[in-house]
């Protein structure tokens, strides 16, 4: 049996929090002594751990309450929904960071930014556009599939992935006569981007940096040149066009 104080220090929450959880019937003490003191048992401690776990994931207390009294599969789908929400928040935060950076530059006068552009990120149109991009960027199926890490793959799988990568480059070379803006080339970029998922999490902005590096850093250029002397530059252009069209 734990007193409020004991439980609070054990779990690292305030006494007030326990009072509150009791008040909203989220966590009730096992029993109440004659003197009115709350007394918790181990089951209560466990439940509190669960609560804190979901709270850390930014669930609302009301939702936690429902969750804890629901069967397992409902918890899973709740978590999946929450996962989507977190991805949206991640995207939004990334966008905010960028805007803040731009604004700082603007205020410092280091960069010209029309008022229009300053507010552009928040127009309804842009919001919709952004939502569309975020949806693409964070399409659950895509991300879930790509989130597994390279090291977890079997040798055959790794080989298959590498073959896939080579295939992308070959197709890219085949698409070179049609121009970097051709649907064929753009499709290759899309595939390349997904292929990169196996190694690290892609990011639209970083994509261009990566392609540039491919074309300029000695780490990669020689290798590319061996396949085709203009592949690196072609890829950079294609990726630039791809990024521009995606972030339009």
* Segment interacting with a second copy, rule: CB under 8 A, options 17-25, 33-41, 113-121, 128-136: 113-121
Contact of residue 61 among a second copy, DNA, none (CB under 5-8 Å per partner type): DNA
38 binds, among DNA, a second copy, none (CB under 5 to 8 A by kind): DNA
Shortest gap between Cβ of 1 and DNA (angstroms)? Answer: 11
Residue 4 site contact among a second copy, DNA, none (CB < 5 to 8 Å, cut-off depends on kind): DNA
Residue 134 touches which member of a second copy, DNA, none, C-beta under 5-8 Å by kind: none
- Interface pick for a second copy out of 42, 126, 205, 230 (rule CB under 8 A): 205
Of residues 168, 149, 150, the one with CA closest to residue 159: 150
Nearest approach, Cβ of residue 116 and a second copy (Å): 12
Token couple for 237: 């252009």
Chain residues binding a second copy by CB under 8 A are: 12, 49, 52-53, 56-58, 72, 75-76, 79-80, 82-83, 86-87, 89-90, 93-94, 96-97, 99-101, 103-104, 107-108, 118-119, 121-122, 124, 144, 147, 149-151, 158, 162, 165-166, 169, 199-201, 203, 205-206, 208-210, 212-213, 216-220, 222-224, 226
């Amino acid at each position: 049996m734990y007193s409020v104080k004991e439980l609070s220090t054990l779990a690292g929450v305030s006494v007030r929090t326990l009072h509150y959880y009791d008040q909203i019937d989220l966590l009730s003490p096992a029993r109440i002594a004659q003197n009115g003191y709350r007394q918790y048992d181990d089951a209560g401690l466990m439940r509190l751990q669960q609560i804190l776990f979901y709270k850390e994931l930014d669930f609302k207390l009301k939702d936690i309450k429902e969750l804890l009294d629901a069967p397992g599969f409902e918890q899973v789908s709740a978590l999946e929904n929450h996962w989507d929400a977190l991805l949206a928040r991640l995207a939004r935060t990334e966008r905010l960071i960028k805007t803040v950076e731009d604004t700082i530059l603007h205020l410092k006068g280091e960069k010209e930014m029309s008022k229009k552009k300053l507010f552009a990120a928040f127009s309804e149109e842009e919001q919709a556009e952004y939502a569309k991009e975020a949806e693409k960027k964070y399409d659950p199926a895509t991300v879930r599939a790509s989130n597994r890490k390279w090291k977890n793959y079997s040798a055959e799988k790794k080989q298959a992935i590498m073959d896939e990568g080579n295939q992308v480059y070959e197709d890219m070379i085949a698409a070179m006569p049609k121009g970097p803006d051709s649907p064929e080339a753009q499709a290759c970029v899309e595939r390349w981007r997904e292929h990169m998922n196996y190694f690290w999490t892609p990011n639209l902005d970083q994509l261009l940096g990566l392609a540039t590096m491919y074309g300029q850093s000695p780490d990669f250029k020689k290798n590319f040149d061996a396949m085709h002397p203009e592949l690196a530059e072609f890829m950079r252009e294609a990726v630039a066009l791809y990024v521009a069209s995606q972030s339009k």
